[in-house]
Amino acid sequence: MSVVTVNAGPRRGWRSAGTWVGAFIVGIALICAIFAPLIVPHDPFAQDLDRRLLVPFWMEGHNPEFILGTDQLGRDYLSRLIWGCRISMLIGITVTIVSGLIGITIGVLGGFFGGRIDDAVLFAITTRLSIPVVLVALAVVGLLGTSMTLLVLTLGLLLWDRFAVVARSTSMQVRNLDFVAAAWCAGCSRFRVLSREVLPNIASHLVVVATLEIALAILLEATLSFLGLGVPPPLPSWGLMIAEAKDYMFFSPWVIVIPGVALFVLVLGINLLGDGLRDAFGTRSRS
């Protein structure tokens, strides 16, 4: 090979710019989510048909009171955007909690106990993977009506597979390590071994999965809301905002660009943070 000087390795974990960008984005999202009622400039639900489709600040003829303009019912876009962030984060986190509980339990049971239980767990995972998620979620909401609780439950019951897979493979690895055998020999009950030895060691992997799953849940909720079977209107889910704006998108493209960019940036930020965490924890090898 010709003379080539080796490039410095990529900056990983906390030293990577991407991780900090992700953390920053997630931080802003959390602030918006938690303090939404305090920071929205206008009421996101207040309609005013005199002020429909005002343009955002970078275009001519904008109204300085409504920085990002208004939608087709005269509602302030910025306020709806911030409120939508709250909804996205809320759903993302709650869905992940539900799917995490289900997935981790199933995964650890399979990975730790092995044998027939593991066979059953693998079967469950395979079955879950073969189910078309969006279709089934749509069907459930379509049949039972839109509500936040139903949405969270449905998505939570559908999105546990990655948790299960990672929990299973990591607990399988940990199970074979010596300190687990040592705790076993010392007479610890199975529950104690699980909670004191196994769980703390797989926790870092699961945190990484959790961040990525939050992003996935947010995307899915947006998709469902876009199709009209997600968050019930008038709640301003970003997906719903895009759907509502579809009729106007050829004339006023910003109405779909703005919430779409917000959605994209949030999901990207969470993914960047998740990747950074994965590198920081040194959990490069996944199943």
Partner 1 sequence: MLQFLFRRLIVALLVAATVMTLAFILTRLSGDLAISIAGPNATAADIEAVRKAYGLDRPVLSQFFDWVGRAATGDLGNSYFFQTRVSTLIAERMPVTLTLGLTGLSIALLVSLPMGILAAVRENTSFDRAVQMVALIGQAMPSFWLGLLLMILFGLTLGWLPISGTGSWEHFVMPGIVLAFSAIPALTRLTRAGMIQAMGSDYIRTARAKGLSRASILLKHALRNAAIPVVAIAAVQLGFMLGGSIVIEQVFALHGVGFLAWESIAKNDFPVVQAVVLVLAVIYVALTMVSDLMNAVLDPRLRA
Partner 2 sequence: MSALLEIERLEVGFGAATSAVRGASLTVERGETHCLVGESGCGKSVTALAIMNLLARGGHRTAQRLDFQGDDLLKLDDRGMARLRGNAMAMIFQEPMTSLNPAYTIGSQMTEVMRRHKKVSQRIATDRAADLLGQVGITAPGLRLGQFPHQLSGGLRQRVMIAMALMCEPQLLIADEPTTALDVTVQAQILRLLAQLQRDLGLGLLLITHDLGIVARIAHRVSVMYAGEVVESAATAQLFADPKHPYTQGLLRCVPVPGKQRQDEPLGSIPGTVPRIGPGFEGCGFRDRCTFADATCAHTVPHQTAAPGHDYLCRLAP
* Residue 198 token pair: 């196994």
Nearer to partner 1, 32 or 216 (CB): 216
For position 8 contacting partner 1 by CB under 8 A, the verdict is yes
Q: Which residues contact 60 (CB under 8 A, 6 or more apart)?
A: none
At its nearest, how many Å lie between partner 2 and the CB of residue 213? 36
At its nearest, how many Å lie between partner 2 and the CB of residue 4? 6
Whole-number Cα distances in Å, 46 to 37, 54, 74, 125, 228: 14, 15, 8, 45, 21
Q: Which residues are paired to 70 by β-bridges? A: 76
Three-class secondary structure of residue 70 per DSSP: strand
CB 271 within 8 A of CB 212: yes
Ranges within 234-263 binding partner 1 (CB under 8 A): 239, 242, 246, 249-250, 253, 256-257, 260, 263
At its nearest, how many Å lie between partner 2 and the CB of residue 3? 5
Q: At how many degrees (to 10) do helices 199-226 and 133-144 cross?
A: 60
Residue position matching structure tokens 């986190």: 93
Residue 144 contact, options partner 1, partner 2, none, Cβ 5-8 Å cut-off depending on partner type: partner 1
DSSP tag of 251: T
Q: Which residues are paired to 76 by β-bridges? A: 70
At its nearest, how many Å lie between partner 2 and the CB of residue 10? 15
Ranges within 198-257 binding partner 2 (CB under 8 A): none
The residue type found at 161 is D
Nearer to partner 2, 9 or 115 (CB): 9
Residue 2 contact, options partner 2, partner 1, none, Cβ 5-8 Å cut-off depending on partner type: partner 2
CA angle 217/220/226 to nearest 5° reads: 140
- Map residues 1-40 to x or -, x wherever contact with partner 2 holds by CB under 8 A: xxxxxx----------------------------------
Nearer to partner 2, 11 or 246 (CB): 11
Nearer to partner 1, 3 or 143 (CB): 143
Which of 46, 101, 139, 181 is the binder for partner 1 (CB under 8 A)? 139
